[in-house]
Structure 1
Amino acid sequence: MKQLAKFSIEVRANDFVLRLTDDDGDVVEFATSAEQLDEVIGVFNDLMEELEGED
């Protein structure tokens, strides 16, 4: 499995570009809507809350 090294989000006129870079320097780009980014953020926040609840 590849390891995420960094990511960025670029704003475009009608959407966003989510750019993921792995530890080998390979880049994958995804066009995404604001709603999709919100969903990713929501899922991440839910996971973080679950992990904090395990302490």
Structure 2
Amino acid sequence: MLDMVRRWYKRRFSDPDAVSLVVILLFGFITIYFFGNLIAPLLVAIVLATFLNGR
């Protein structure tokens, strides 16, 4: 069983770009999960400022 997981891991994540993408996505999801209540007003403010910019 462990050998099967090891082969799948080497097949999918042998590319360094794929590993970087997974790490960045995981960090982003964890940040949003734990700090979502703090970040939400900031994101809403950024969206409103963009819409009210008037370009």
TM-score bucket of the superposed structures, by smaller chain = 0.3 to 0.5
Structure showing the higher helix proportion among its residues: 2
TM-score (norm 1): 0.44
Structure index of larger Rg = 2
Structure with bigger RCO (C-alpha 8 Å, 6+ apart): 1
